[in-house]
Structure 1
Amino acid sequence: MRPRGLVALLVFCSLSHATHAGQCARAPLKLLAEDVSDEQAELSGVVLLDGGRKLIAVSNEGLGPDGRAYMAQVFEGDPKDGYTHSHNERIYEPDGCKEADFEALAQDDDTLFVIGSHSQNRKKQNKNETRAENFRRLSADGIDEDCKSRDKLRKFRLTDGEKVETLQKTSLRDLVDHHPVLKRFATLPNKENGIDIEGLAVFDGALFVGFRGPVLRENYVPVLRLPTDLDRIEPDGESDGALFVNLGGRGIRDLAPGPLEEKALYILAGPNGDEKQNFAIYRWDGRDQLGGNGHEPDIRQPLCEIDLTDEDKRTKHKPEGLAYLDRTPSALRFVLVHDGEVELKAEIITIRE
């Protein structure tokens, strides 16, 4: 397979809370790779290790060039000159279907977390099928059978030999199915406001799990705050509650903690389904935005907005993974990666303070 050059996104975000968010400007950061399958090109999560000298990415399909499930892609280099693909690491075995649908990656020192969408999927309409078949696809029969491969939450480490050491593994399926808010959406397809996990971050000593869907009435989006010790997660959901953020009707596409002194969690937000919304980046302090007891919720404007280009729409590129990079005298910098089709052209984006 011929070499494929992938591009990640550098995002420079203003920290001011203007009435109208500014647009992010764009510039490339190269990710070079050979023998990358189309599935691996659909990047959906990213972290930076070793002071930015190593970039780890996951893809939401997760099949390597030999058809085996890998998920963790290791790149080496730096943000200035770009990154070159080093190797892939397997972090799971398929269970029920090949598609793990891993959507997010998080870092806690030398420990990594990866999570699947925990979603249901409806088969798309097909103009070459009969009307009866397309009607069936709109019915309950058109929802794919449960895929246990999607219901994964893994805690792992890359060892000195660059091999994966699995530390803990669990599923949030039981928690979702028993949760007083989330359980109503557990059997709905992910593009029809059903459960769809796409954000993950370690922040304030906890594991934050962000949902692309459901988006609830008045635009609230749930975030679970869970222990980083996966064995302590309560399967009945009674002790885990939920936080809520308001992203103007958008869902969470990723979460990225800022530097410790800022005590900020950055949210990459985008459309939940096929809504014609742009993507945006928000700064959040990790506190619940749900109002009550006489207090109105503190809803912030996005720091910057990301409009998809005509080329993006044609090739179905969209922002999927966000990682904090550093601060300059005039900007806060992030790495943002996209997924897309075949020749993934991840873009670049910028806003200054």
Structure 2
Amino acid sequence: MRHSSRFLILPGLVMSLLLSHSTTLLADVAKPLSDSKNPTHQAWSFDKHLKIDPLNISGVVVSGDFIALATDEGSSIELYRKRNGVWHAYKVVPLSDSVDELDLEGLAWQAPYLYATGSYGLKRKKLKDDLNQKDNLKRLQPIELETSRQQLFRIELDNDFNPKEIQTLSLADIVKDDPILKPFSGLPSKENGVDIEGLAVSPQGELILGLRGPLLRGNLVPLLRVTLAKKSFKVKEVTPLYLELQGRGIRGLSETPNGYLVLAGATGDQPLPYQVYHWSGENGLPGTDRKANTLRHLCELPEGAGKPEGIQFLAQAAQHIEFLIVQDGLKDGQPTAFSCAM
């Protein structure tokens, strides 16, 4: 009887804990903003269809004067300018003369430079249900390296946001030489290989690249802080950083007045909700010398039909922060503004 009563009590206890946990999660879900008097706080209205792939938007930059959108299909960035509350198509900026896909995953802006990064990811072919096992095995064996994906771009814009110069460099050798990333540099990005998806610029002009993978022991995900040469688009120094995002990888980065917003999501196809964090910019690697309040969970994004791939800081107050999300798989990225508590 003693055992029986214990098991009778447990279900109630478990249900109580689940309800408590559910309530906590619900309180942390980001709220979409909707204000007809402020078009920035709702899904944007474009004057015409995007010329870049509208269903694979992967990166976004919003400044007071222009929007830049990137797609992980193709090789161009599209610029929009605002007039009478509507974003008007302004210019498509091709980053390459080749037809090869650049797999652009992140955008960042620090005047006069617009930065863009490829994923640096390797590929393995998908299996097909209409093939036999022998043929599917053949598809699995080769790993494809596309050097077009292993590029970092710097686009200098003039005062009218026309491109003056486009420069490029590759971090491929740096990734291969890094003692942590080296073993993962030969793996496909969807198999815990190297996959760069987030990009931001520090106040000092350093580039911060956030990786979706690899996911390391302790659920650590890497970032690279790239210091550029002062007079040329060359790498002066690379510093590896690490964050622990509850088993997630970095899907997007954006600068804030006192740090960065981090959009975190599954490293693969795991059914994990997307989370938003505030990061100070300091290394989050565990250790007695790690600074306090390096990373703070802000909220969870509501479940939707697309895959959030880009984040852009909008505004910050004492009690809340506002940001924009664009999603892969939804028309024009369905840019939507959200708010969550600080």
Offset of residue 226 of structure 1: 0.7
Does the residue aligned with 2:138 lie in a helix, a strand or coil?
helix
Alignment of 1:326 onto 2:328: no
User: If each structure's helix is expressed as a fraction of its own residues, which one has the higher value?
Assistant: 2
Does the residue aligned with 1:119 lie in a helix, a strand or coil?
coil
TM-score by length of 1: 0.79
Aligned to 2:216: 216
Select which of 89, 93, 106 maps to 2:93. 89
Aligned to 2:13: none
Deviation per CA, 1:11-35, whole angstroms, max 9, x where unpaired?
xxxxxxxx86700122432242535
Select which of 233, 241, 244 maps to 1:243. 241
**Greater relative contact order: 1 or 2 (C-alpha under 8 angstroms, separation 6 or more)?**
1
Does the residue aligned with 2:31 lie in a helix, a strand or coil?
coil
Offset of residue 215 of structure 1: 1.0
- CA separation in 1, counterparts of 2:331 and 2:30? 25
Offset of residue 76 of structure 1: 2.0
Aligned to 1:65: none
Aligned to 1:288: 283
CA separation of 1:76 and 1:294: change in aligned 2, threshold 3 A: closer
Aligned to 2:82: 77
Which consecutive unaligned segments of at least 5 residues does structure 2 have? 1-23, 34-41
Aligned to 1:125: 127
Of the two, which has the highest radius of gyration? 2
CA separation of 1:330 and 1:342: change in aligned 2, threshold 3 A: closer
Does the residue aligned with 2:123 lie in a helix, a strand or coil?
coil
Which consecutive unaligned segments of at least 5 residues does structure 1 have? 1-18, 63-68
- CA separation in 2, counterparts of 1:304 and 1:87? 35
Does the residue aligned with 1:137 lie in a helix, a strand or coil?
helix
Does the residue aligned with 1:132 lie in a helix, a strand or coil?
helix
Aligned to 1:36: 50
Does the residue aligned with 1:23 lie in a helix, a strand or coil?
coil
Deviation per CA, 1:218-239, whole angstroms, max 9, x where unpaired?
11111111114364425xxxx5
CA separation of 1:333 and 1:341: change in aligned 2, threshold 3 A: closer
Aligned to 1:306: 301
Aligned to 1:25: 31
- CA separation in 1, counterparts of 2:182 and 2:329? 31
- CA separation in 1, counterparts of 2:73 and 2:47? 17
- CA separation in 2, counterparts of 1:89 and 1:38? 10
Offset of residue 345 of structure 1: 4.0
- CA separation in 1, counterparts of 2:92 and 2:47? 11
Deviation per CA, 1:173-209, whole angstroms, max 9, x where unpaired?
1111111111110111111100100011111411111
Select which of 104, 108, 111 maps to 1:109. 111
Q: Is the 8 A contact 2:221 2:244 kept in 1?
A: yes
Deviation per CA, 1:232-285, whole angstroms, max 9, x where unpaired?
425xxxx524110111111011111102xx2x1111111111111111111111
- CA separation in 2, counterparts of 1:297 and 1:185? 30
Select which of 284, 302, 327 maps to 1:338. 327
Structure 1 counterpart of 2:246, one-letter code: G
CA separation of 1:299 and 1:278: change in aligned 2, threshold 3 A: farther
Offset of residue 39 of structure 1: 2.5
Does the residue aligned with 2:44 lie in a helix, a strand or coil?
strand
Does the residue aligned with 2:174 lie in a helix, a strand or coil?
helix
Aligned to 2:173: 174
Aligned to 1:257: 255
Offset of residue 90 of structure 1: 1.4
- CA separation in 2, counterparts of 1:203 and 1:295? 20
Q: Is the 8 A contact 2:169 2:234 kept in 1?
A: no
Offset of residue 136 of structure 1: 2.3
Aligned to 1:6: none
CA separation of 1:173 and 1:40: change in aligned 2, threshold 3 A: farther
- CA separation in 1, counterparts of 2:157 and 2:336? 28
CA separation of 1:216 and 1:33: change in aligned 2, threshold 3 A: farther
Matches within 5 A, 1:183-222: 183-205=182-204, 206-222=206-222
When structure 1 is superposed on structure 2, of 214-223 and 342-351 the one drifting more is: 342-351
- How high is the sequence identity, in percent, across the aligned residues? 30
- CA separation in 2, counterparts of 1:56 and 1:295? 35
Q: Is the 8 A contact 1:290 1:297 kept in 2?
A: no
